[in-house]
Amino acid sequence: MPQTTLPIELTVNGTLRGIDVAPHHTLLEVLRDDLQLTGSKECCLVGECGACTILVNGRSVDSCLVLAVEADGADVLTVEGLASPDGRLAPIQAAFLDQGGVQCGFCTPGQLMSAHALLAGHPHPTRAEIEEGMAGNLCRCACYEQIFAAIDQAASGAAPAVTGASVRAEAGDAWAGAKTSAEGLDQ
């Protein structure tokens, strides 16, 4: 029997997308499988780890817990939309690199999105606000101190203004390596 699909529209990283989705598919599945935006990671699928965090209408959500049909008409920001189109990293991305907040990289997309949402609401967060804002994002490499330092750095405006290309050159391709290892874990 053919599977029923429903048409929805999402604005994803600034681009309006029309998609036919299965009613039971999550926003995470649609982003990864239909739109090939695999930055958001699939891990616990029960809202515990934060690896799938994205912004929906400006609010951070676990995309594994949202049905795609529930997001019809929404404005969605994923980690792929953080850097500017010319490859310049967002300050929070540059700060993660600067502070060593990335090890295996699996949790990094979700951490970045939660940090981005935190800084949007609290441009100069206290340590307690950082800990509370990031409480839903687990890091099995235990980079918490480096991640918190990166958020502090981004909040202070001290992150270096670097492009993705120059960061990769300076950091021995650490960012690309982390991305690759994170994507490798999808397999």
Q: Report the residue number, 122 or 144, with the smaller CB distance to ligand FES.
A: 144
Pick the binder of ligand FES from 56, 83, 104, 176 (CB under 6 A).
104
- Tell me the two tokens of residue 140: 């099995």
Q: Report the residue number, 100 or 160, with the smaller CB distance to ligand FES.
A: 100
Pick the binder of ligand FES from 27, 30, 37, 43 (CB under 6 A).
43
Do residues 31 and 19 lie in contact, with contact meaning Cβ atoms separated by under 8 Å?
A: no
Q: In angstroms, give the least distance from the CB of 175 to ligand FES.
A: 12
Is 67 a residue that touches ligand FES (CB under 6 A)?
no
In angstroms, the CA 86 to CA 84 distance is: 5
Is 62 a residue that touches ligand FES (CB under 6 A)?
yes
Is 103 a residue that touches ligand FES (CB under 6 A)?
yes
Nearest alpha carbon to residue 144 among 108, 92, 94 = 108
Do residues 11 and 76 lie in contact, with contact meaning Cβ atoms separated by under 8 Å?
A: yes
Non-local CB neighbours of 32 within 8 Å, separated by 6+ positions: 38, 40, 42
Contacts with ligand FES by CB under 6 A lie at 42-45, 47-52, 62, 64, 102-108, 139-141, 143
